[in-house]
Each structure stands twice: as structure tokens, then as C-alpha cells.
Amino acid sequence: GQQLNQSPQSMFIQEGEDVSMNCTSSSIFNTWLWYKQDPGEGPVLLIALYKAGELTSNGRLTAQFGITRKDSFLNISASIPSDVGIYFCAGARNNAGNMLTFGGGTRLMVKP
Amino acid sequence: ETGVTQSPTHLIKTRGQQVTLRCSSQSGHNTVSWYQQALGQGPQFIFQYYREEENGRGNFPPRFSGLQFPNYSSELNVNALELDDSALYLCASSSGGRGPGELFFGEGSRLTVL
């Protein structure tokens, strides 16, 4: 089962609003990643974080690697309709290659 | 540069049958991993292949097996299918030049077991 708790499970927002979602774990991860999955597609990497406390931006997206290494958040500013999709957090541990543990996802819906 | 391609895209099997899913990794990527994504859930790691050998496995029984070929393409085989095996199976490739966890996913093979 999932080891990462992701919240909220779903969000329905107005276009132009900012969005925040987060992910928590009972154990430490050395890498945190955020992926987005559109219907009928595989997940696409948005942001990767490698150091505790790291804050990284990718366009309108900003993500942070929590100091305790047990959490991460993703913010989306000024949402647009193409932001619709399911956002997954994922964690990886050292020497575990690409064995990612995914959260349950946050489904984002944007009303134009 | 071609992305990760998977086949078939959809298939239906009955309980007890066997299935083989195929994946061609992105050009230049030598590592392939497979994930199972049940409806409404996040992907779960099945196993990873590097240089034609399995070098990591998640919590899946031995009836889930795989292969990687010299051209880095890969197969996922599932024997004695069960109803709970119904899911989207995702293949992801990566290369040594990328950071850990930076995966390129295919669109998946959706398996329905009746």
C-alpha cells in the first residue's frame, strides 16, 4: 500500500487561483519528486528535489523538500485550465535506484 | 529521439491466463522499471532492470517476472492472472546521467482480468 500521504485528494478551483498540495511520510526519503498525470498518459516529471530544505521552481510551480526529509509541498500559482490532472508526489531512498514510492495523488480541477 | 513506447495499449485476459507486456525505452536510456497503477491510486514499483539483470524489486510475487534485452527494451510477464492484477502497467526508462527517480514513463498498458 501507499506509504506517502498526499493531501488534499482533490481540489476544484477557479482559474487564476493559487494551489497548494502536500505529501507526508512516516519515514525519511533522500529525494522527493512531483509528477503530473493526464488522462490516458503516463506520469510526467515536474520537479525533483535532492536536499532537505531545498526550494525549487519550474515556471509557475514551486516545490520544497521538508527539513525533516519526511514531507514536501507543491504550489501552483495562477492556475490555468491545462493544469487539470492528477499530481503525484514520490520519494526515493539512496541506493534504491528508481524504486519510487508514490502518494495517492491530488486530482486538480480548474474552472475557467 | 523517441520516447518510451508500450504495447499493447489495452488487453483483456481471463483469470489464470498469462500476459506479456512490452516496452521500448527512450533512446539512450539503459534502465527500465515497471510500475502497477490500480484505478484511483498512485503507481507501485514492481521491479527494475539494468544491463539485462533485475536490480530491484517491490512487494510483488514471483509470478511477476521480467526481461531486459541488449537494446534495453523490456518485457513484463505475469503468470496465473488474478482479478486484482487488473491495472495500468507503466514502464519507465532512465539513464545514468539523470538524478535518482527522474523517470520517463510510457502511456501504459491497461490490463483487465475477467
B22-69 residue pLDDT tens: 999 988 888 999 999 999 999 999 999 998 999 899 999 999 999 999
Rounded distance, CA A72 to CA B24, Å? 32
pLDDT digit string (tens) for B70-96?
999 999 999 999 999 999 999 999 987
Instruction: Provide the 3-class DSSP secondary structure of residue B38.
Output: coil
Strands (E), B1-114: 5-7, 10-13, 19-24, 31-37, 44-50, 53-57, 64-68, 74-78, 87-94, 104-105, 109-113
Closest partner CB to A31 (pick from B43, B101, B105): B101
B43: cell is 503507481
Residue of B nearest to A93 (CA): B100
User: Chain A: residue nearest B108 by CA?
Assistant: A42
pLDDT given at position A47: 96
**Is cis: bond before A8, omega within 30 of 0?**
yes
Non-local CB neighbours of B85 within 8 Å, separated by 6+ positions: B78, B111, B113
Residue-wise pLDDT tens digits, A5-39: 999 999 999 999 999 999 999 999 999 999 999 99
Cβ contact, residue pair B101, A42, below 8 Å: no
Residue A2 has pLDDT above 60, yes or no: no
Q: Is the CB of A100 less than 8 angstroms away from the CB of B101?
A: yes
Distance in angstroms (rounded) separating the CA atoms of residues B78 and B111: 11
Instruction: Write out chain A residues lying below 8 Å of B44, CB-based.
Output: 102
Q: If pLDDT is split at 50, 70 and 90, which confidence band does A3 have?
A: confident
The number of C-alpha atoms within 13 Å of A105 and in the hemisphere containing its C-beta is 20
Triad A38, A43, A46: Cα angle to 5°: 100
- Cβ-defined contact of B42 to A45 (cutoff 8 Å): no
pLDDT, one tens digit per residue, over A64-98 is 999 999 999 999 999 999 999 999 999 998 777 68
- Residues of B within 8 A of A40 (CB-CB) are 107
